Amino acid sequence: MGVDPHLLRTFVTVARLGSFSAAARELGYTQSAVSQQVATLESDLGTPLLTRRPVLPTEAGGRLLEHAGPILLRLDAARADVARVAGDPPDRLVLGASALAMTRPVAGALAALRRERPRLDVVVAVAGRNEVVAGVAAGRYDLGLVDGITAPNDPLRLPDAGALTAVGVAERPLVVALPAGHPLADRAGLALAALADARWLDAPELAVPAPVLRDSASGGGWRAAVRYEGADCAGLLALVAAGHGIALLPADLAYGPEVTGVPLTSPRLVHRVELVHGRLVAGPAAWLAAHLSDLRPTEVSDASRPRQ
Amino acid sequence: MGVDPHLLRTFVTVARLGSFSAAARELGYTQSAVSQQVATLESDLGTPLLTRRPVLPTEAGGRLLEHAGPILLRLDAARADVARVAGDPPDRLVLGASALAMTRPVAGALAALRRERPRLDVVVAVAGRNEVVAGVAAGRYDLGLVDGITAPNDPLRLPDAGALTAVGVAERPLVVALPAGHPLADRAGLALAALADARWLDAPELAVPAPVLRDSASGGGWRAAVRYEGADCAGLLALVAAGHGIALLPADLAYGPEVTGVPLTSPRLVHRVELVHGRLVAGPAAWLAAHLSDLRPTEVSDASRPRQ
DNA sequence: CGTGATTACGGTTGACGTAATCATA
DNA sequence: TATGATTACGTCAACCGTAATCACG
């Protein structure tokens, strides 16, 4: 009666890889087993979920995929949550962080923790924003630090990953990064609307992704000149300096010999870092969370938020 | 590796009933099977989840219970969603509605649907707010109508039940219902703060529950005189008329020979009705949703909301 | 002692692997 | 024709029921 998650898992893998055999390799099954599992799921739900050759989700399969991810994630989260209260306090703290989330105040709080608990192993793993949130939900990270761009005091738009709490811990101003000598580089401030037809660098891991720009100030082209998938600021700044395009970056990172940061005047946007965590139990994670929350610019979410 | 939902289900049932044998009866298993399932789950998670005699959740069990409900719900939602796109268009529309959600404009849209499709069976099931949301998520209702009290244009605070969309469809003013002849009954308007020490009727299904009052204007006693668990307005008004206490109600329902409704001046609150639904496919549900959305006071939520 | 949870054990079911078959690019 | 999904079938594990045992009130 209840959609076996085991089958769900293989179904998701097959859909993602577009191949039964590839999914079988990844999951450590035989091709035959995967075929049988998908067939079982389809007969259980009474409808085909995948087309064969090419292997693509049907409409029903698409609907199922929308649910499968969150379900599998929450299942992991449940296990992780139980493990956290059952196990003894760990001597290791694993932090997930997105690219620009490790700001000064955050690093300061982390230093305070290491002074407090010198024998503690601290691991900081940098990953994409969604991976950080998913990792926290699944218990791979004790805490997550996620950064992004929003209006001042507005929470980040994070993916829904079950019962997670997010607290703002830092906000800093944004500037438009321009090559030194650019015609606009001597302005005192720039409005986003004036840059609609400029050439933007689309760096989803680092700066504002193009879709957000489009939403913030509609109209205009918002052409992306180059898509930069790295997570290091220096590389992006080099592209800016070479005139490939301009980017929206935290003020303190957007300066250099060949790059000028011009303050963004409207709309008012800031670079914001949020601490993401599940339910905490006494231990280093809780300690750090408490100290990070002390420097919070604003609390944005707790126990029960309205809906997805 | 992934917390079998089958076991989760029996664990939840055992925890809810506080008894292995009772859970076995309810689930159609033998006592022995339930015992084995719980034991399997405990050994899988590596920690006891329940105390025996009396049967109560341990701390780890409590954590698991927090996840179990949403997981089981989402599993049902997935099945229901798939069934909706797989099955042929139904000749029956089942609406879930909370007590005061069937307002005039909603009833009007429903009438239009019945003119449009005379052969359609329409069922309206009245239930608690949470049951409506859960029922929509699980596919027991095609659409949900949920009412509650918020600031104008603010979304209702609904429980998280997976990927649900909520659209506001009606708002109407609120009044303080007083017995005719009450010292305050001749006022032109009342501020909530002035009523902090009044005697309130706590009618969670109908009017504003006491906790909301406490949050809206903190300070004061907010004593609840009587708790009224019914869902009919007449009964509550009778209690008001008899002087058991006062209540916050939609303006058009709070009048009668023995009751006076005095407009609420601050904070500005309204009675709001929202339409709740999963992803819609062509059919009567989609038709009604479209027509209800046309009279929406404001859209409040769609595809992806930030987090729980 | 009696109610109710656990343990022992056997039968059935079902899930996976091997291998043969089928279908499509 | 070759790659890759399906079908056939045998084996083995897991799950549930019956029944005996244990433990707390």
> Tell me, what's the pLDDT at A297?
59
SS3 B145: strand
Position B277 scores a pLDDT of 92
- Residue B91: Cβ within 10 Å count: 11
Radius of gyration of chain B (CA): 23
Residue B49 has pLDDT above 80, yes or no: yes
Give the HSE-up count for residue A94: Cα atoms under 13 Å, Cβ half-sphere: 12
- SS3 at position B285: helix
Question: What was the pLDDT predicted at A156?
Answer: 84
Is it the case that residue A66 has pLDDT exceeding 70? yes
Closest CA to B286 of B62, B38, B90: B90
Q: What is the pLDDT of residues B248-290, one digit of tens each?
A: 888 877 777 777 888 888 778 888 899 999 888 888 899 999 9
Residue to mutate among B6, B12, B59, B63, with most A CBs inside 10 A, is B63
Percent of chain A at pLDDT exceeding 70? 88
- Write the pLDDT tens digit of every residue in B172-190: 888 888 888 777 777 777 7
Q: What residues in A contact B2, CB-CB < 8 Å?
A: 5-6, 9, 72, 75-76, 79
* Number of C-beta neighbours around residue A39 at 10 A: 13
Indicate the pLDDT class of residue B211, thresholds 50, 70 and 90: low
Give the pLDDT of residue B296. 58
- Mean predicted confidence (pLDDT) in A174-190: 80
Read out DSSP for A92-133? EEEEEE-TT---HHHHHHHHHHHHH-TT-EEEEEE--HHHHH
How many CB contacts within 8 angstroms connect chain A with chain B? 162
Q: Are A95 and A141 within 8 A, CB to CB?
A: yes
Residue A302 has pLDDT above 60, yes or no: no
At B13 the pLDDT is 93
Tokens of B42: 């405990």
Whether the per-residue pLDDT at B160 is higher than 90: the answer is no
**H or E stretch including A68?**
helix A59-86
Mean pLDDT of A94-105: 86
**How far from A200 is each of A150, A231, A270, A303, B180, CA to CA, in Å?**
18, 17, 18, 38, 67
Give the tens place of pLDDT for each residue, B25-45.
Answer: 999 899 999 999 999 999 999
Pair A172, A250: CB distance under 8 Å:
yes
Whether residue B209 has pLDDT greater than 50 = yes
Taking residues A232-244, what's their average pLDDT?
79
pLDDT grade for A145, boundaries at 50, 70 and 90:
very high
pLDDT at B105 over 70: yes
pLDDT of residue B142: 92
Examine the pLDDT at A305 and tell me if it is beyond 50. no
Predicted local distance difference test score (pLDDT) of residue A299: 45
Choose from A149-163, A293-307, B108-122 the range with maximum mean pLDDT.
B108-122
Banded pLDDT at B203 (limits 50, 70, 90): confident
Let me know: does B177 contact B247? Beta carbons within 8 Å.
Answer: yes
Instruction: State the CB neighbour count (10 A cutoff) for residue A233.
Output: 20
Q: In this complex, is the C-beta atom of A119 within 8 Å of any C-beta atom belonging to chain B? A: no
* DSSP letters spanning B199-245: -EEE-TTTS--HHHHHHHT-SS---EEEE-----HHHHHHHHHTTS-
Q: How far apart are CA B9 and CA B37, in angstroms?
A: 10
- Contact between chains at B75 and A2 (C-beta distance less than 8 A): yes
Mean pLDDT of chain B: 82
Closest CA to the C1' of C19: that residue is: A32
The pLDDT-based confidence of A136 (bands split at 50, 70, 90) is: very high
Note the pLDDT tens digit of each residue in B54-102.
889 998 999 999 999 999 989 998 998 898 888 777 788 899 998 888 8
Amino acid B303: pLDDT: 32
pLDDT in tens, A14-32: 999 988 888 889 998 999 9
Ramachandran category for residue B162: left, alpha or beta (phi over 0 → left; psi -120 to 50 → alpha) = left
Q: Does the nearest atom of strand D lie within 7 Å of A36's Cβ?
A: yes
Asked if residue B224 lies in contact with residue B210, where contact means CB atoms within 8 angstroms, the answer is yes
Helices A129-137 and A59-86: crossing angle in degrees, nearest 10, is 60
CB contact under 8 A, A47 and B301: no
B302 pLDDT higher than 50: no
Give the per-residue pLDDT at A173.
87
Q: Let me know: does A246 contact A178? Beta carbons within 8 Å.
A: yes
Residue A91: CB atoms within 10 A of its CB come to 11
Indicate if CB(A43) is under 7 A from strand C.
no
Predicted confidence (pLDDT) at residue B300 exceeds the cutoff of 60: no
Average pLDDT over residues B191-209: 74
CB-nearest to B308 from A64, A66, A162 is: A162
B266 contacts B189 by C-beta, under 8 angstroms: no
Instruction: Round and report the angstrom distance from CA (A32) to C1' (C17).
Output: 8
A27 CA, D14 C1': Å apart = 21
DSSP B268: -
Phi, psi of A208 (to 5 degrees): -80, 125
Gap from B39 CA to C7 C1', Å: 12
Q: Which nucleotide is closest to the Cα of A53 by its C1'?
A: C24
The answer to whether B251 touches B173, Cβ cutoff 8 Å, is: yes
Q: Measured between CB atoms, does B185 come within 8 Å of chain A?
A: no
In sequence order, the β-bridge partners of residue A248 are A176
pLDDT band at A300 (very low <50, low <70, confident <90, very high): very low
Is-cis flag, bond preceding B54, omega within 30? yes
Q: A268 falls in which pLDDT band (50, 70, 90)?
A: confident
Q: Kindly list the residues from chain B whose CB atom is less than 8 angstroms away from the CB atom of residue A157.
A: 304, 306
With contact defined as beta carbons under 8 Å apart, do B286 and B280 qualify? yes
Q: How far is CA B264 from CA A271, B196, B252, B269, in A?
A: 40, 13, 13, 8
CA angle B243, B248, B253 (to 5 degrees): 90
- Over 70: is that where the pLDDT of B1 sits? no
Percent of chain B past pLDDT 90, that is, above it, reads 20
Which is nearest to B94 in space by CA: B143, B128, B132? B143
Q: What does the DSSP 8-state code read for residue A299? A: B
Contact B23, B34 (CB under 8 A): yes
Q: For chain D, which bases have at least one atom within 7 A of a protein Cβ?
A: 4-8, 15-20, 24-25
Rounded-to-integer distance, Cα B169 and Cα A282, Å: 45
- pLDDT value at residue A7: 93
Taking residues A211-230, report their average pLDDT. Answer: 62
For residue A247, is pLDDT > 80? yes
Whether the predicted pLDDT of A139 surpasses 90: no
| Per-residue confidence (pLDDT) for residue B297, from 0 to 100 | 59
Distance from CA of B105 to the nearest CA of A (A): 25
